Amino acid sequence: MHSPRLIPVPALADNYIWLLANGNQCLIVDPGEAPPVLAALRRESLTPTTILLTHHHPDHIAGVGGILAACPGLSVIAPHDERIATATRRVADGERVQIDAPRADFEVIEIPGHTRSHIAFFGAGVVFAGDTLFSVGCGRMFEGTPPVMLASLDRLAQLPGETLLCCGHEYTLANCAFALSVDAGNADLQRRSEQARALRARGEPTVPVALALEHATNPFLRVDAPALIDTCTKALGAAAAQDRVARFAWLRREKDSFRA
């Protein structure tokens, strides 16, 4: 018996395409381009069976055509969104995705905000969260409002702490710089920042990462933490800072304009 293996495949500028492999079979998550995936399949002697897509952005789906041309007949599982033309099956909140090879069982979680139809796949000890939750950060709200995005982050935050977060981009160092600007006294965050710096200096990914560490370090999961309430109170005033959506909205706006 083999145990499942997670392989982050760097792609484009700072994307990760994820492979989940067991034995010589694998599934592919969010292929923004085909060549690095096809190279990884050859290198690891893997045969893909399934492609999972979290949202319609080209840097997550543009490689599907090239992969299907090389490996015909794969299932392509995607949210209900006509902007993803290659889907063979569309899934909604609460649906189960059972894959025979590699054997894996996922629950679909709708997490709108970055885009209106964004979904996550939770199963096999991991969550493929696309561009909604990053390590020490969260996605931009292209098609959603702060209450919608915060509700989506809250849902991901409820998953078990040992769940490994597999996100769509290597943004951790920049996210740590922002997080330290609003949560400076957080020792876990300071350690995570140092660890991420060391990993990147060796050319290694900072993800996957356990959700428990995100609870301790990610300001967008810490809108109810005293340190973040404090920061927001200084910026917004005590009355406005009582509202957790207002705190989240302010943090997200600050991150949009933050330059380290």
Question: Which residues have a catalytic role annotated?
Answer: 55, 57, 59-60, 114, 131, 169
Nearer to Zn ion, 57 or 90 (CB): 57
Report the nearest approach of Zn ion to the CB of residue 59 (Å): 7
Nearer to Zn ion, 57 or 247 (CB): 57
Which of 57, 192, 247, 252 binds Zn ion (CB under 5 A)? It is 57
Q: Is 170 in the site for Zn ion (CB under 5 A)?
A: no
CB contact at 8 A, 232 and 244: no
- Binding part of the chain for Zn ion, among 28-36, 129-137, 185-193, 238-246 by CB under 5 A, reads 129-137
Report the nearest approach of Zn ion to the CB of residue 140 (Å): 8
- Binding part of the chain for Zn ion, among 124-132, 154-162, 173-181, 201-209 by CB under 5 A, reads 124-132
Specify the pairing of strand 15-22 against strand 5-11. Answer: antiparallel
Sequence-ordered alpha helix ranges (H) in the chain: 35-43, 58-61, 64-70, 146-157, 172-182, 187-201, 211-217, 226-236, 244-257
Specify the pairing of strand 47-52 against strand 25-29. Answer: parallel
Cα–Cα distances (Å) from 224 to 65, 82, 218, in that order, read 43, 37, 12
Nearer to Zn ion, 56 or 192 (CB): 56
- Binding part of the chain for Zn ion, among 53-61, 95-103, 196-204, 242-250 by CB under 5 A, reads 53-61
Bridge partner residues of 97 (DSSP): 106
Token digits of residue 21: 């492999």
Say whether 49 sits in a helix, a strand or coil.
strand
Nearer to Zn ion, 129 or 249 (CB): 129
Report the nearest approach of Zn ion to the CB of residue 260 (Å): 22
Amino acid sitting at position 69: A
- Binding part of the chain for Zn ion, among 14-22, 57-65, 120-128, 237-245 by CB under 5 A, reads 57-65
Q: Is 183 in the site for Zn ion (CB under 5 A)?
A: no
Nearer to Zn ion, 148 or 235 (CB): 148
Q: Is 131 in the site for Zn ion (CB under 5 A)?
A: yes
Sequence-ordered alpha helix ranges (H) in 106-259: 146-157, 172-182, 187-201, 211-217, 226-236, 244-257
| Size of residue set near Zn ion by CB under 5 A | 2
In 55-125, the DSSP E strands lie at 75-79, 89-91, 96-99, 104-110, 119-123
Give residues in contact with Zn ion (CB under 5 A).
Answer: 57, 131
